[in-house]
Amino acid sequence: MKTAKLSIPRTLAMAAVVGAMLVGSSPTVHADWQPPAKKRVKKEKEVAPPTQAQLDALAKLAVARKLTPDDLMAAAKTYMPSGRIDDYILFASGGQSGSVFVVGVPSMRLLRSIAVFTPESWQGYGFSGENDPIRERLKVNGKDVDWGDTHHPALSETKGEYDGQFLFIGDKANSRVGVIDLRDFETKQIVKNPLTISDHGGMFVTPDTDYVIEGGQYATVLGNGYAPLGDYQKSYRGLITFWKFDRATGRVDEAKSFAMELPPYFQDLADAGKGPSEGLVFLNSFNTEMATGGIENGKPPFEAGASQRDMDYMHIIDLHKAEAAFKAGKVEKINGFSVIRIATSISDGLLFLTPEPKSPHGVDVTPNGQYAVVAGKLDPHVTVYSTEKIKKAIAEKSYSGTDPYNLPILNYDAVMEAQVEVGLGPLHTQFDEKGYAYTSLFLESAVARWTLGGDYAKLHEEQPWKLVTKTPVQYNIGHLCVAGGDSASPDGKYLIAMNKWSIDRFFTTGPLLPQNFQLIDISEGGTTMPVLYDCPMGVGEPHYAQMIKADKLKPWGVYPEVGWDPQTQAVEPGAPAPGAERVVKKGNQVEVFMTAVRSHFSPEHVEIDEGDHVVWHITNTERTMDATHGFCIGGYNINLSLEPGEYERIEFTADKPGTYPYYCTEFCSALHLEMMGYLTIKPKDYKAAAK
């Protein structure tokens, strides 16, 4: 039995290896994290076309509900059966709400809000009591500021395309930048611009998100300084700030960021060049008149004073050279922040102006980077600049003069490529992949589709640089948005018109009416561009939005591990773990280690004394999607949203004695009402009643 003899040692060795592998690696139950959602491999069901009887019933219903065939088509294009997920996700600024809104397209369903500059109780954003890191972060120059005016969201880009990793949002009221991580849709950082108090032109990103651009607006004395308005031209300055973004940490690096001093025009929206224009940054301005208002003194009001000249100045910045100047130390520190002075911009050739008509509101670079389009607001044209001609004019010093601050003005005729008359009040432009541009017309309440020329001319049948059609919108459109419409690869199926007035579109909800997002189908070329759907936004006044294909986002369904601190995006080592719940009291310092799981908190009794200072840690140990728990203490302004796996910390001084039932504020389970406990705070003068 040669075979048998030989195979004994072989099997032994094999068994030993196998045994070591199994015993060594996993002898216990794997109760830990599983990937949140098994991949939704929902098989697309084949759908049979409606029968004649069903069509007849549909026709009858349409007549009864006064729906035209176009209405039926619009409904069919937007309706999402239960359980079907939208193809696109829209991130809209939330204006005075200080939030960002997430909307599914084409259904136009509001999916959630993301708190950024305003404390928000559902998300437990800024409701963790004393020393709340979020409240600390929201302070402006040491003062509590509990709101923001979010204007322009910018999705992070890789090679000029949305990569779905981060969203940046600017706060116009306080010149701040919010950084949102799109893994958990939560704000991770707020950066305050130390040079000025308000801005407008933020955020815009460079093609690889090396820099997040914040354009200024109302000129001030930089660094929160003071000068009388009479010294406006001498002492007030405009601004553009380049925030360095560190993708690895997911944070803006303030030390590696810099700003450029600009003349006291009202700088506005910006856009970064891409492709052939990568390295250039374009920035609008108005009030090159440098009007200072004073209607009460019989002077022209700003609205008139800032609108006298037929041309304002587009600013063109050579970002590579500006970065080099910053790195070479050619900066001044103002309020601790690096600023490139105008004189350096002139001597190093960092900044050029060129005329743009008139009080414009939006400069947008075409997807191929060859053109920058300026919408004239008070001029019925969009003006198209060739980025190649701009580079040539800079190289050849083709100047038509200088501005009052000695900045060179590029010869308008040398850089202008085309003008297209689109209508009254053009504001903003987005692009599709079919060679069309779309410009919002505020005064006309319409969206204009017009053709691009140059390399784009072969993509469409119409003449280049010509208006194709206009679609009326309801009413007073501000920004507009096409998926990827400012990126290198737009996806022009839908356009969202972001209308400021809704007037008669919805039920009158008192004198304050919602805004109206209108969904427009731009999938067909030519003159076909129907409105499909009205979406009321009754939660703030959005300005701009960016839209991304849903499958480019990779959000977490639950936090990756139990004890996860969303602020650090890592496991908090001190997070309470199951079995280690406890209340630790040292003198009047109390520390509570609590876990939350359906349907109980542990511990359920926290008995402390008046005057105790409490630090309270909670971990939601759930691993199931949507098994979110809340935690509130009434009277102490405390409410948390504890998403599955999340760790949170609260802190308060127990200065109001009494009995405080704490409970779960997010309906979690059949025994949600029972998910509670008692915090008792014994008064200092308490004496137990005699038995």
Task: Fill in the amino acid letter for 5.
Answer: K
Instruction: Name beta bridge partners: 114.
Output: 100
* Torsion over CA: 86, 88, 94, 100 (sign): positive
Q: What is the spatial distance between Cα 498 and Cα 480, in angstroms, rounded to a whole number?
A: 6
Task: Indicate whether 85 belongs to the interface with other proteins (CB under 8 A).
Answer: no
Q: Which is nearer to other proteins, 3 or 52 (CB)?
A: 3
Q: Considering only 206-214, 289-297, 360-368, 668-676, which stretch makes contact with other proteins by CB under 8 A?
A: 668-676
Query: Smallest distance, Å, CB 557 to other proteins?
Result: 11
Pairing assessment for the beta strands 647-653 and 202-205 based on DSSP bridges = unpaired
DSSP SS3 for 13: helix
Task: Indicate whether 71 belongs to the interface with other proteins (CB under 8 A).
Answer: no
- Distances from the Cα of 501 to the Cα of 11, 210, 460, 511, angstroms: 80, 37, 33, 12
Q: Considering only 16-24, 260-268, 283-291, 339-347, which stretch makes contact with other proteins by CB under 8 A?
A: 16-24
Q: Considering only 8-16, 239-247, 328-336, 356-364, which stretch makes contact with other proteins by CB under 8 A?
A: 8-16
Instruction: Name beta bridge partners: 442.
Output: none
Taking CB under 8 A as the criterion, the residue among 34, 141, 508, 589 binding other proteins is 34
Query: Smallest distance, Å, CB 582 to other proteins?
Result: 21
**Where do runs of H (alpha helix) occur along 465-556?**
none
Query: Smallest distance, Å, CB 623 to other proteins?
Result: 5
What is the DSSP code (8-state) at residue 143? B
Task: Indicate whether 324 belongs to the interface with other proteins (CB under 8 A).
Answer: no
Quick one: the chain helix, strand, coil %, rounded to 5? Answer: 15, 40, 45
Taking CB under 8 A as the criterion, the residue among 7, 54, 308, 406 binding other proteins is 7
Task: Indicate whether 579 belongs to the interface with other proteins (CB under 8 A).
Answer: no
Q: Which is nearer to other proteins, 535 or 597 (CB)?
A: 597
Q: Which is nearer to other proteins, 34 or 568 (CB)?
A: 34
Query: Smallest distance, Å, CB 19 to other proteins?
Result: 5
Cα Rg for the chain, rounded, in angstroms?
Answer: 30
Query: Smallest distance, Å, CB 44 to other proteins?
Result: 16
What element of type H or E holds 259?
A: strand 251-262
Residue with tokens 């890592």: 570
Query: Smallest distance, Å, CB 607 to other proteins?
Result: 24
Task: Indicate whether 43 belongs to the interface with other proteins (CB under 8 A).
Answer: no
Task: Fill in the amino acid letter for 566.
Answer: P
Task: Indicate whether 8 belongs to the interface with other proteins (CB under 8 A).
Answer: yes
What is the DSSP code (8-state) at residue 186? E
Query: Smallest distance, Å, CB 577 to other proteins?
Result: 14
Taking CB under 8 A as the criterion, the residue among 13, 19, 61, 461 binding other proteins is 19
Query: Smallest distance, Å, CB 627 to other proteins?
Result: 8
Task: Indicate whether 343 belongs to the interface with other proteins (CB under 8 A).
Answer: no
Q: Which of 270, 90, 93, 118 has the alpha carbon at shortest distance from 168?
A: 93
Task: Indicate whether 1 belongs to the interface with other proteins (CB under 8 A).
Answer: yes
Q: Which is nearer to other proteins, 174 or 619 (CB)?
A: 619
Residue 643 structure tokens: 């998403």
Q: Are 622 and 558 in contact (CB under 8 A)?
A: yes
Q: What is the spatial distance between Cα 161 and Cα 154, in angstroms, rounded to a whole number?
A: 11
Task: Indicate whether 81 belongs to the interface with other proteins (CB under 8 A).
Answer: no
Task: Indicate whether 3 belongs to the interface with other proteins (CB under 8 A).
Answer: yes
Task: Indicate whether 46 belongs to the interface with other proteins (CB under 8 A).
Answer: no
Task: Indicate whether 12 belongs to the interface with other proteins (CB under 8 A).
Answer: yes
Task: Fill in the amino acid letter for 188.
Answer: K
Within 585-624, the residues that bind other proteins by CB under 8 A are: 597-599, 622-624
Task: Indicate whether 528 belongs to the interface with other proteins (CB under 8 A).
Answer: no
Instruction: Name beta bridge partners: 177.
Output: 170, 191
What is the DSSP code (8-state) at residue 597? E
Task: Indicate whether 673 belongs to the interface with other proteins (CB under 8 A).
Answer: no
What is the DSSP code (8-state) at residue 424? S
Task: Indicate whether 629 belongs to the interface with other proteins (CB under 8 A).
Answer: no
* DSSP string for residues in 350-379: -EEEEEEESS---EEE-TTSSEEEEE-SSS
Task: Indicate whether 29 belongs to the interface with other proteins (CB under 8 A).
Answer: yes
Query: Smallest distance, Å, CB 27 to other proteins?
Result: 6
Q: Which is nearer to other proteins, 21 or 503 (CB)?
A: 21
Q: Which of 511, 427, 442, 510 has the alpha carbon at shortest distance from 475?
A: 442
Taking CB under 8 A as the criterion, the residue among 27, 49, 69, 230 binding other proteins is 27
Beta strands across the sheet bearing 280-286: 266-272, 280-286, 311-318, 351-357, 408-410, 399-402
Q: What is the spatial distance between Cα 62 and Cα 82, in angstroms, rounded to a whole number?
A: 22
Task: Indicate whether 15 belongs to the interface with other proteins (CB under 8 A).
Answer: yes
| Cα 209 from chain centre | 14
Taking CB under 8 A as the criterion, the residue among 13, 37, 111, 673 binding other proteins is 37
Taking CB under 8 A as the criterion, the residue among 48, 670, 689, 690 binding other proteins is 670
Query: Smallest distance, Å, CB 672 to other proteins?
Result: 12
**Number of residues engaging other proteins in binding (CB under 8 A):** 37
DSSP SS3 for 208: coil
Residue with tokens 């400021």: 500
Taking CB under 8 A as the criterion, the residue among 22, 57, 59, 570 binding other proteins is 22
Question: Within 13 Å and on the Cβ side, how many CA atoms surround 34?
Answer: 10
Q: Considering only 24-32, 179-187, 190-198, 489-497, which stretch makes contact with other proteins by CB under 8 A?
A: 24-32
Binding mask 345-374 for other proteins (x = CB under 8 A): ------------------------------
Q: Considering only 10-18, 331-339, 449-457, 656-664, which stretch makes contact with other proteins by CB under 8 A?
A: 10-18
Q: Which residues contact 175 (CB under 8 A, 6 or more apart)?
A: 192, 193, 195, 196, 197, 198, 199, 202, 214, 216
Q: At what angle do helices 69-78 and 52-64 cross, to 10 degrees?
A: 110
Q: Which is nearer to other proteins, 331 or 664 (CB)?
A: 664
Residue 35 structure tokens: 């990937």
Q: Which is nearer to other proteins, 549 or 598 (CB)?
A: 598
Residue 670 structure tokens: 């059949």
Q: Considering only 33-41, 124-132, 138-146, 197-205, which stretch makes contact with other proteins by CB under 8 A?
A: 33-41
Q: Which residues here bind other proteins, judged by CB under 8 A? A: 1, 3-5, 7-8, 11-12, 14-16, 18-19, 22-23, 26-32, 34, 37-38, 40, 83, 597-599, 622-624, 627, 670-671, 674
